[in-house]
Structure 1
Amino acid sequence: MREMAAPMLLVTCSLIFWVSLYLSFCQFNNQQHYEWNCRLVTLIHGVFIVCFSAYVGFIDGPWPFTHPGSPNTELQTQVLCLSLGYFIFDMCWCIYFQTEGLVMLSHHCLSILGIVMVLALGHSAVEVNAVIFGSELTNPFLQIRWFLRESGHYHSVLGDIVDLLFVLLFSCVRIGIGGRLLYCELTSPVPLPVVKLAGVAMYAVSWLFMLSIVKFAWRKINHKYKTWREWSRCPFHLYANGHVNKAC
């Protein structure tokens, strides 16, 4: 229990920070609704945690593909505690306002349980940190997409770019590189079976998200193609004196 005292204090401070940030947004940005302010917090967490986890994984080390199951470093613990406080806040917010479905709530539950598990075990933070990096890398694009839609700017070139980057990053990082990380986790004799099982569950949730993203991408491509075909049939003189030209 003594070893867990410091992480528990860090998680408590993190939770207080994210809740305070959200309440501050609600106070000073009260012209917007609650979900707008919550997604601002989510966007800030995503940007910060991607930067921190990237530093931990790529600079401070060790490398998650070659050292799964290695003992937790102090910096890894701090980053995980910062993220755990946010996930607890967001999980409570989503349950209270009932804004998310079963898949997203499962993702939050697995994230919380996975972080708590590696903090209690004292090892395997290296691969959990890598999973958080991959998961949160796509999150800012998801939030920007939501803000664009809410502000009426989604159906634009910027909206198309954000969607494209989100789909590419999700498929390449969370599915492609995430699959490679899971393979390294499963074939290594060091991580405990419960950690490997958690990795499989997290990757399965990513595939559930991926199926939804594929359906969305197909619908959007289909819509763009139909719009292009309609435009190509009559690219000029669509309107005459303010009325649709029926000759087209």
Structure 2
Amino acid sequence: MSPLLLGVGVCLAGWIALYVLLCYTNGSCGYEWNCRLVTLLHGILAVCITAYIGYVDGPWPFTYPGTKNTPLQITAMVISLGYFIFDMVWCVYFRTEGLVMLAHHTMSILGILLTLWLGESGIEGCAVLFGSEITNPLLQTRWFLKHSGRYDSFLGDLVDVFFVMLFVFMRIFVGGTMLYCELISPRPKFIIKCGGVAMYALSWVFMADIARFAYRKSQVKYQRWMNRHRMADVNGQDLKRD
């Protein structure tokens, strides 16, 4: 277990060093901006590694859950564990996230620790990482657009649409299929199955928040469209009178 602890420590130090470097070279943008750059980099890195694991290195998570961890799976989980510890501490210190996101980070940390300790179900852990992080670049892009004054644009709308669609597809439909395969398979341990249920339930909590956001935004867009339509009608009537 000591090599794993050393690996997690090295990865944690690496994420901290990257954050400090960004704050030093990009200090004018603020702490959260630089933290989200780290988050964006982790999301891209995690998606690339876990996609390679799932689609190339194997095994296929829907068919072979509960199998022994491979070196590449362990590497992916150690890298992400270091990041989640860093981001969890950062979020608690700066108080930027709510209970749902903190619960997500806590469950991610505990899930990775459990998978590393058991020495199995690494493929499911990597599949969960892939599904969780694939929407991360869009989420961070949305935040960057919002805080740079470019969110209320076609690009901002496009990012929101793709984020919602990708979240629903990956976290709800694909995640639900993954959970079903996990539950019916005799290989994964019961505690791993419980963790899968908990993560999927958390996805539905996020889904409820996203649905409320999508509803509010669609209402605002509709009201703006109606106002423009009314103004066009009024202007047209004024021109006829003239």
TM range (shorter): over 0.9
Query: Out of 16, 19, 27, which is 2:13 matched to?
Result: 16
State how 1:1-248 maps to structure 2 within 5 Å.
Answer: 4-235=1-232
**Matching residue's letter, 1:50:** V
**Matching residue's letter, 2:46:** I
**Percentage identity across aligned positions?**
55
Of Structure 1 and Structure 2, which has the larger fraction of its residues in helix? Answer: 2
> 1:222–1:120: structure 2 CA closer, same or farther, 3 Å change rule?
same
Deviation of 1:231 after TM superposition, in Å, equals 1.4
How many angstroms apart in 1 are the aligned matches of 2:135 and 2:144?
15
How many aligned residue pairs are there?
Answer: 239
Deviation of 1:6 after TM superposition, in Å, equals 2.0
> 1:238–1:74: structure 2 CA closer, same or farther, 3 Å change rule?
farther
How many angstroms apart in 1 are the aligned matches of 2:138 and 2:67?
32
Q: Deviations over 1:21-67 (max 9, x none)?
A: 00001111111111011001001110111011100111100000000
TM-score relative to the length of structure 1: 0.93
Structure 2 SS opposite 1:235: helix
Deviation of 1:17 after TM superposition, in Å, equals 0.6
Structure 1: any 5+ residue segments left out of the alignment? 240-244
Deviation of 1:236 after TM superposition, in Å, equals 7.5
Deviation of 1:237 after TM superposition, in Å, equals 8.1
Q: CA RMSD in A?
A: 1.7
Structure 1 SS opposite 2:151: coil
**Matching residue's letter, 1:80:** M
Deviation of 1:233 after TM superposition, in Å, equals 2.5
How many angstroms apart in 2 are the aligned matches of 1:163 and 1:137?
14
TM-score relative to the length of structure 2: 0.95
Deviation of 1:234 after TM superposition, in Å, equals 3.2
How many angstroms apart in 2 are the aligned matches of 1:138 and 1:170?
6
**Matching residue's letter, 1:104:** M
**Matching residue's letter, 2:7:** L
Deviation of 1:5 after TM superposition, in Å, equals 2.0
Structure 2: any 5+ residue segments left out of the alignment? none
CA contact (8 A) 1:7 1:78 kept: no
